[in-house]
Amino acid sequence: MSSSRKPSMPTLTKVALAASALLCIAGLIAFWYASGKARERTPHADAQQVTVTIRDNLCDPGDITVPAGRTTFTIVNQTPRALEWEILDGVMVVDERENIAPGFSQTLTVKLRPGTFAITCGLLSNPRGTLTVTPSAQSEADAARPPLTEYIGPLAEYKVYMVLTAGAVQKAVQQLQQAVANGSLDGARHATQDAHRTYKRLEPVAELFADLDTRLNARADYFDQRENDPDFAGFYKTRHLLAERGDMPALQAELPALQADVDSLRARVRTLQISPERLAQAGARSLRRAAGHLGDSTGSASQQAWSDLDLVKGTCDGTRKIAALLEPLLAKANPDLQARISRDLGTLDQSLEASPVVPATVATALNALADDFDQINPALGLE
C-alpha cells in the first residue's frame, strides 16, 4: 500500500487562490503597461520639438539628432501626394504617421532610446534620412528602472501581507469579544488597541474600501453629533465606550457590527487589485495623515485617551512593508533615494522609541518619510 497522500482540498484551494491572484496581478500589470504605451503616443509638454518638411524626394532636415527621451515630430507634407512618415529600427517600425495629406502636417510624439534610426521621406522608394538619438540623463535613468515584470513578485507578496493582516484584525476582534464575554475591561481595552493598531497597517490601501474604512476607522470629529452620532462606529467607538465609560453592555451591542465589518474586510482585500504606482502614493498619504493627527489639538478627550502614537506604529509597519518590497528595485534605480529612505525610517523609529516620546518630533519624521515616498514613483518610472 502506498503511503503517499493526496493534497487536501483546503491545500488545493489555497494553491488555486494564490495562482489566481498572481494571474490577476500579471493581467493588471499588462493592462497598466499597455495604457502607459498608449499615453506615450500623446504629446508631452516637456518633449523635444522637431519639424520635418518633406518635399520632392527628401526630408528637410535629412539628418536629425535628438537626445534620448520624448521627442515631438511635426511632419509637414509639401509634396503633391499623401504620404506616410516612419521611424525605422532596421526592418521594424518604431512609430509612424500615415495619410499626411498634401499641404498638411501631423505630429508624432515618441520616446526614443539611444541609437541610429532611419526615417522615410515621402515615397518608400526615396532615399531615407537618418535619425541619431544620443544618450541623455533620461535614457540613463530609464536604463536603471526595473521592467514591469519585476513588480509581479512585490505585488503578490503585498497581497499576501494584506490578507494576513486582515486575518490578524479578525483574531483581535474575536479576542475582544471573549474579553467582553468574560467581563474583563482591561482585556477588552488591550484587544481593541491591538485590533486598531493592526488595522492601521492597511491604511495605505484603505481608500480602496472607503465605505468599510469609514465604519471601522472614522473619528468622531468627522460626524455631526460626534460620539453621539448614530453613524459613529468601529474602533474609535469601541475606544470611546471603554475609555470614557467602561460601558461593557453598550460595547457588547456594538460587537456584531464590528465583527461583520472585519469579516468583510478580509474578503475585500482578497480581491483588491493594486497597481504598482499606488504603493508609494498611498504610503505617502498615510504617513502625512498620521502626522496630521499627531498635530491635531481639536480631538475629543475620548479620542486622545489612548494615544494616537500607538496607532502611528501600525501605520509605520504598513509603510515599512512597502519600503521593503520596493527596496531591491529602488536600490538599483536610485540608490541615493533608497539610502535616504533607510535613514529616515531609522529616524522615525528613534522618535517613537524616545523617552518621553515627543509627538511633534514624530510628526516631523513622518513628514520627512512621506517626502521620500513621493519621489519613489518618479525614480522607478511609474509617473
**pLDDT tens-place values along the chain, 383 residues long:** 434 444 454 444 454 445 455 545 444 444 444 334 433 334 455 678 999 999 988 899 999 999 988 899 999 999 988 888 889 888 788 888 888 899 999 998 988 889 999 998 887 778 899 999 998 876 666 666 677 788 999 999 999 999 999 999 999 999 999 999 999 999 999 999 999 999 999 999 988 898 899 899 988 888 989 999 999 999 999 999 998 668 899 999 999 999 999 999 999 999 998 989 889 988 998 998 899 888 654 444 334 434 688 999 999 999 999 999 999 999 988 999 999 999 999 999 999 999 999 999 999 999 999 999 999 998 888 86
Q: What is the pLDDT of residue 383?
A: 63
Domains of the chain, first to last: 48-143 (2.60.40.420), 148-380 (1.20.1420.20)
Helix (H, G, I), strand (E, B) or coil at 354: coil
- For the purposes of burial, counting CB atoms within 10 Å of the CB of 245, is it exposed (0-12), middle (13-18) or buried (19 or more)? exposed
Q: What is the pLDDT of residue 147?
A: 77
Q: Are 287 and 319 in contact (CB under 8 A)?
A: yes
Q: What is the pLDDT of residue 31?
A: 40
Q: What is the pLDDT of residue 28?
A: 47
Cα dihedral: 354, 355, 358, 362 (round 10): 20
Predicted model pTM: 0.67
Cα→Cα distances 219→16, 225, 227, 374, Å: 39, 11, 9, 26
Q: Are 283 and 204 in contact (CB under 8 A)?
A: yes
